[in-house]
Amino acid sequence: MKAIIVMFDSLNRHMLPPYGGEGVHAPNFSRLAAKSVTFDNNWVGSMPCMPARRDLLTGRYNFLHRSWGPLEPFDDSMPAILGEHGVYSHLVSDHYHYWEPGGATYHSQYSTWEFIRGQEGDPWKGEVADPDIPDHVGDVQGYRAKLFRQDWINRKYMAEEELHPQAETFARGIEFIRMNGKEDRWLLQIEAFDPHEPFFSPQRYKELYPHEYAGKHFDWPLYQRVQETRDEVEHCRYEYAALLSMCDAYLGRVLDVMDECDLWKDTMLIVTTDHGFLLGEHDWWGKNIMPFYNEIARTPLFMWDPREGRQGERCGGLTQMIDLAPTLLDFFGADATGDMQGIPLRETLRGDDRAREAVLFGMHGGHVNCTDGRYVYMRAPARSDNTPLYNYTLMPTHMASMFSAEELRQLELAEPFSFTKGVRTLKIPAASRHTAHHFGTLLYDLHADPQQRQPVRDPEAEAKMVGHLVRLMQEHDAPAEQYERLGLEEPMQR
């Protein structure tokens, strides 16, 4: 038995043909849907990139207890557990956050790994002279200016499609498949940074979307409200669509090699993403700083399980990233640990008794969100200063830096959580930069308003969703102050 995960970053579900997307050239996603089960109620868990990877490896949420950070010493690790059961795992990725301080413990969980350089502002090629940068829509200031400069240096080394990081990532993944296709008990994770911004793709994919545009260069929007002209917004969406079509083309190469090597008979295939991306919907660009509308939070998921043999079907059960670790452990005959909260996808597909009533999702310090598939409830912080809020960790790093000495001077030791194996963690006051309080608490009825154009006031529905939210926070051993932060009454027993 073998398994392949194909993970994209910022892949928009609503733009894919199997989910009703129109105007996007993505025939291989349709081909994939015909060969697998399409999950219609898949939701993010922890946002954004590395918090989602912690969900993936550990089978439980990251966002209730800490912000972006590494795997913790007490975490259960799906690839490591598979290794203990004789399963070889290989990661190949151009997702450079794995190799920053805030992600540096994930890749080493795999038996072997390969890193393809050059995405976004990856500090790859060293050039002292400033690159030639075209006039660009939007200001480029502060930290983003550094990324922007490096990105334009990196692009100089990708003149041919085969040198594009996505192309190299899939080439290395397919090389692994061809090398090991006749071997047994391995997991391959092909993880592409695309279609994450900047939306940089070879010309042949751009030509799929002919349109008139004479404005400034624009393939990297700021995370902010839309301020651009209609032509600029349309052009940027086409740049995203071109990159999505590139993702589709390389997904097709994986499907081709599965056909060629007759892998469908014994190889699980999972294709998904960590989150979506707003391209002007709700008058916003990006993610993280606005409410997690469905364009961000409801994500694509496809699975082929050779044990089940189900293809061209759809599943409406609630699923999340935390389900992938139990799914893969189950597939290889290993037990999920007691601390994993995910449910094997096969159980959801079969409609087993463990099917969920609701799920949580969010970002540390932001709204805590809950959905039952009909309603989406976004619970905002009760106070404008977003307190109290702490990071619980033994790995005090942010995305690209260590915690500062000033932050660490404020630490204290917390009592163990149910999943920390009796280990006390550091308890460090967290910066409260999120604007969730400004947006307030929101409730959407997806049956009546699938585009989430107008929140509803429905005390009965809200009470039901609060009940789900509190129960799930309790099941996931949320810190006591999270209830206070959200203006909720903490359950008597935790």
Q: Is the pLDDT of residue 264 over 90?
A: yes
Q: What number of other Cβ atoms are within 10 A of residue 435's Cβ?
A: 15
In contact, 332 and 82? CB cutoff 8 Å? yes
Of 436, 319, 447, the C-alpha closest to 383 is 436
Are 316 and 386 in the same domain?
no
In contact, 34 and 356? CB cutoff 8 Å? no
Q: What number of other Cβ atoms are within 10 A of residue 303's Cβ?
A: 25
Are 346 and 434 in the same domain?
no
Among 315, 350, 385, residue at a domain's last position:
350
Q: Average pLDDT in the 108-122 region?
A: 97
Give 292's Cβ-side CA count (13 Å radius): 31
The alpha-carbon radius of gyration of the chain (Å, integer) is: 22
Altogether, the residues listed in the chain come to a count of 494
Are 429 and 447 in the same domain?
yes
β partners of residue 271: 6, 302
Are 396 and 261 in the same domain?
no
Are 199 and 272 in the same domain?
yes
- Distance between CA 71 and CA 81 in Å, rounded? 14
How confident is residue 433, by pLDDT bands cut at 50, 70 and 90? confident
Are 207 and 268 in the same domain?
yes
Going 234 to 238 to 240 to 244, the CA torsion angle's sign is positive
- Distance between CA 119 and CA 198 in Å, rounded? 8
465 inside domain = yes
Are 118 and 199 in the same domain?
yes
CA angle (323, 324, 326) in 5-degree steps: 70
Give 456's Cβ-side CA count (13 Å radius): 19
Q: Is the pLDDT of residue 492 over 80?
A: no
Instruction: List alpha helices for 201-342, DSSP H.
Output: 203-206, 230-260, 294-297, 324-331
pTM (predicted TM-score): 0.97
In contact, 205 and 245? CB cutoff 8 Å? yes
Are 62 and 140 in the same domain?
yes
Q: Which residues contact 462 (CB under 8 A, 6 or more apart)?
A: 377, 443
- Distance between CA 160 and CA 143 in Å, rounded? 29
How confident is residue 316, by pLDDT bands cut at 50, 70 and 90? very high
What phi, psi does 260 have (nearest 5°)? -60, -40
417 inside domain = yes
- Distance between CA 235 and CA 229 in Å, rounded? 10
Are 24 and 160 in the same domain?
yes
In contact, 428 and 396? CB cutoff 8 Å? yes
Q: Is the pLDDT of residue 448 over 70?
A: yes
Q: Average pLDDT in the 383-399 region?
A: 97
- Distance between CA 331 and CA 352 in Å, rounded? 16
As for how many domains the chain has, the answer is: 2
- Distance between CA 491 and CA 494 in Å, rounded? 7
pLDDT at residue 435 in the model: 87
492 inside domain = no
Q: Average pLDDT in the 421-433 region?
A: 93
pLDDT at residue 84 in the model: 98
Give the DSSP H or E segment for 289. none
Are 266 and 302 in the same domain?
yes
- Distance between CA 302 and CA 477 in Å, rounded? 30
**What phi-psi label fits residue 480: left (phi over 0), alpha (psi between -120 and 50 degrees) or beta?**
alpha
CATH number for the domain spanning 193: value is 3.40.720.10
DSSP letter string over 396-446?
-B-SSSBPPHHHHTT-EEPPPPTTTTT---EEEEPP----HHHH--EEEET
- Distance between CA 235 and CA 258 in Å, rounded? 35
Among 306, 331, 350, residue at a domain's last position:
350
In contact, 399 and 419? CB cutoff 8 Å? no
How confident is residue 164, by pLDDT bands cut at 50, 70 and 90? very high
494 inside domain = no
Q: Is the pLDDT of residue 286 over 70?
A: yes
DSSP letter string over 45-114?
-B-SHHHHHHHHHHSS-STTT-SS----TT---HHHHHHHTT-EEEEEE--GGGGSGGGTTTGGGSSEEE
490 inside domain = no
491 inside domain = no
Q: Which residues contact 419 (CB under 8 A, 6 or more apart)?
A: 60, 74, 339, 477
Of 67, 86, 159, the C-alpha closest to 393 is 67
285 inside domain = yes
pLDDT at residue 341 in the model: 97
231 inside domain = yes
β partners of residue 402: 397
- How far is the CA of 191 from the CAs of 10, 255, 410, in angstroms? 12, 15, 37
Taking 3-state DSSP, the helix, strand and coil percentages for the chain, each rounded to the nearest 5, stand at 35, 20, 50
Are 329 and 478 in the same domain?
no
Q: Is the pLDDT of residue 383 over 80?
A: yes
Are 209 and 244 in the same domain?
yes
In contact, 468 and 378? CB cutoff 8 Å? no
Among 350, 377, 403, residue at a domain's last position:
350
Instruction: Give per-residue pLDDT as tens, 31-58.
Output: 999 999 999 999 999 999 999 999 999 9
Tokens encoding 406? 């000033």
pLDDT at residue 493 in the model: 59
Q: Which domain holds residue 393?
A: 359-485
